[in-house]
Amino acid sequence: MARAGLGLGLGLALALALALALSRAKPTVRKERVLRPDSELGARPAEDNGSFQYDHEAFLGREDARGFDQLSPEESRARLGKIVDRIDSDGDGFVTTEELKVWIKRVQKRYIYDNVAKVWKDYDRDTDGKISWEEYKQATYGYYLGNPAELQDSADHHTFKKMLPRDERRFKAADLDGDLTATREEFTAFLHPEEFEHMKEIVVLETLEDIDKNGDGFVDQDEYIADMFSHEDGGPEPDWVLSEREQFNDFRDLNKDGKLDKEEIRHWIVPQDYDHAQAEARHLVYESDKNKDEKLTKEEILENWSMFVGSQATNYGEDLTKSHDEL
């Protein structure tokens, strides 16, 4: 669901969006619709030789965990202290489980924020540190809006006419304070709605609209399969398609009426999986909370620093060479 950069002429973003729309109309390969947030953070493995590698990668991200493994213990502690100040979002001198969870989730989504940083200047035209709906609309749809006659008789016209209100609806859902101007966090939610809890309804609705080709507000079995596979050669369906038909009947169509409504689509693409970030945050607090008040001081974290970050002293011989200075 990620989008591309600034539009020139019809625009790269629009061209890619059109290509995506056309590919949805006639899919030829299996698609993954189920949302998998925090994909980098999997289940906790059994600890290896007392290593805290899982904790380090959860707390820092994989690449920056490797960078810390190249630092001296003193420098690791110093950098950890600066990170703690950032995690303590309300500045009360304590790090709660919730603050740790938010930090861990953000670290695991760093690639998303990196992507937003790369395209930010394409949309923030007045460089005020925010992106208004008008700025986004002009950057993405400006050519079409300024030259509607060029697309009036084009097959692209319907696609663009559909995409503009859909983007506006998504932008407003991401715009939590309703000022039609997106902060960096709000714009990240707009570009990557699958990663944000408050955007899940939009993801469900867009999924329904993508797959529901007859416009009846439901997804029947043929539409469900057509989103994954197209009978271009007229041959028999692969085994995995037959398996998906069984999945539709046995597990997707909960009320057995032969079609999926919004609730059934939500149940399908937004599974209630185990929250690894929450579990890791609780683990870090439990292991470091000396006075058992269920929150951590900076001193408690630094006292147990080797659980949060590595250093040359805690590097168990793994070939870790890449160092990142910015956290």
d(CA 125, CA 135): 7
d(CA 253, CA 86): 45
d(CA 130, CA 127): 7
Structure confidence at residue 320 (pLDDT): 29
* Residue spans of the chain under pLDDT 50: 1-30, 46-49, 314-327
Structure confidence at residue 310 (pLDDT): 81
SS3 assignment, position 124:
coil
Chain centroid offset of residue 2 CA: 9
d(CA 186, CA 188): 5
> Which CA distances in Å does 149 have to 37, 86, 138?
42, 51, 17
Find all residues with CB under 8 Å of 244, minimum gap 6, and list them: 224, 225, 228, 229
* Cα angle for residues 273, 276, 278 (degrees, 5° grid): 105
Burial 86-97 (b: 16+ CB within 10 A, else e): ebbeeeeeebbb
Structure confidence at residue 165 (pLDDT): 94
d(CA 80, CA 69): 13
Structure confidence at residue 313 (pLDDT): 61
Segment 270-301, tens digit of pLDDT: 877 668 788 899 999 999 999 999 999 999 99
Structural contact between residues 309 and 87, judged by C-beta atoms closer than 8 angstroms: no
Please, what is the average pLDDT of the chain?
81
Structure confidence at residue 19 (pLDDT): 42
Helices (H) and strands (E) in the chain, counts: 16, 6
Structure confidence at residue 29 (pLDDT): 44
Q: What's this model's pTM, rounded to 2 decimal places? A: 0.62
Domain ranges for the chain, please list them: 51-218+261-311
